[in-house]
Structure 1
Amino acid sequence: MKRIGTVSLIGGGPGDPELLTVKALRRIEQAEAVVYDRLISKDILDLVPPRTALYPVGKTPRNHPVPQHEINQMLVDLARSGLRVVRLKGGDPFIFGRGSEEALALVEAEVPFEIVPGITAAQGCASQLGVPLTHRGLATGVRYVTGHCREDKPLDLDWKSLADPDTTLVVYMGLSAIGQISHQLIAHGLDSETPVMAVSRGTTPDECHVTGTLATIAEQAKAAALPSPTLFMIGEVTRLGNILHPERLKDCAEVEASSRRPARLEVVHG
């Protein structure tokens, strides 16, 4: 009887490879097949063994070249072929990452799997910019919501509950809807001068961010041409970023050019 492989559903963190967990790195180095999303940085992909097959299945807004059900089946098929499979996702696989959908598919197919958590974008971006998501006297709680609904349906959130000045609100994938989100929060009682920080490509060398208020952030994000996906942090705690933002360390040492790696097999689905 042919040996069945395993699947590791891994959170790749917000982008900086040094924010990977030790367990995630070990699983990546042991992988025989890696199925990865578009948010996985090149620096993290460079950690994959050269002879390991790569399967890109990334999605962009309104463009899902590999539907979720096909990704689910791909994981099952690769594992059934006896491989050690890594499903590599940005952030944490169970926070807006569809990791639970894939886990359920693996359970149904009786494929062994594990969950390797990762630092989610909210935590990574906030810490990088010196923003505490909770702070005594400013925010007694934090809530994560998505700004992008399944199949591009209109947002239908509990706006009254979200418009809480004592809670930090983090909006994932909210770039296209930030105008609507801001309008609804103000309409349901949140002060229009509530500070907001928008972050794109957080924790990477290409990170960019803008700060504003609920009344201005939509226009500011548009003017800055922030690339998608963009994370929005809404609440008084964002003001602390001006005080707590750590100075970036600059390494002036010369770095030798890395040796060329053997060619890698990349499998494009379809």
Structure 2
Amino acid sequence: MTMDFPSPGRTTGTGTLAFLAATDAEALIARCPGVARLLPEMADALERQTATAPGLLFDLAPLTDDERLLLSEILGEGEVAATVALPDGVVAEIVESVFAGLWRVRFLGADNAILADYAEVSAVPQAVRRAAAMTLPRLDLGALPQGVMNAPAVLAEIADRAGHYKFGAANHVVSLTLMPMLPEDLDLLVDRLGTGPVKIVSRGYGSCRIQATAIHNVWSVQFFNAMDAILLDTIEIGDVPAAAQAAVEDFRDSAVRLREIGEAYFR
């Protein structure tokens, strides 16, 4: 599937510290008591969050412009970004911060106006799961055309696995790269699986592009090299693919680093 994917930023934790240490940042920090309050609350959330628990949200709307600017500089942009299409033309723009498991989420209306702006501590933001749940409940195989080779068997496997998947179970991976697939096979897969409302790109595992299909619990996951040539083309059946999720150890590490920043610059 050829899609336009969001681009994660390349801001690093070192860049965050360099900004906070700058002379002109000191005055900005002094004007931002809201950020001083939020940082330990976010660190607490990261310390207690689990991989399967609902997201813990921090509304950024009450912050001043200076406070939002400062918080954006502290959070930076990490290795995962996503766009989520929701009903009525609403789009969620999602960027993981440099603190894995801490995300910045903005909802934009059809006129591009900001409807909501918050930070979320979660394995993957709730907006991703909600949108993915709006897909079709099952894959209808229907009549299959002539001239295809492996697509019918792949579709049958996907339909069976997706229909029996239970949340918390391991994802099942079908590697299209390792199968002899005709162009007609790939065309049939794209046609029958369709395109869903979630697009994710992650650079934590090389370059990985994840597209929700139109079928519930079915994802297209592709890995690319530095020249943007595809290395591995897979279908995952199950939860949001692991390449886009934060793990428990990510939460704990991020909690330590965020708390160190709060204690060093906001006390």
Q: Identify the TM-score tier after normalising by the shorter chain.
A: under 0.3
TM-score of the pair, normalised by structure 2? 0.27
Task: Judging by fraction of residues, say which structure has more helix.
Answer: 2
TM-score of the pair, normalised by structure 1? 0.27
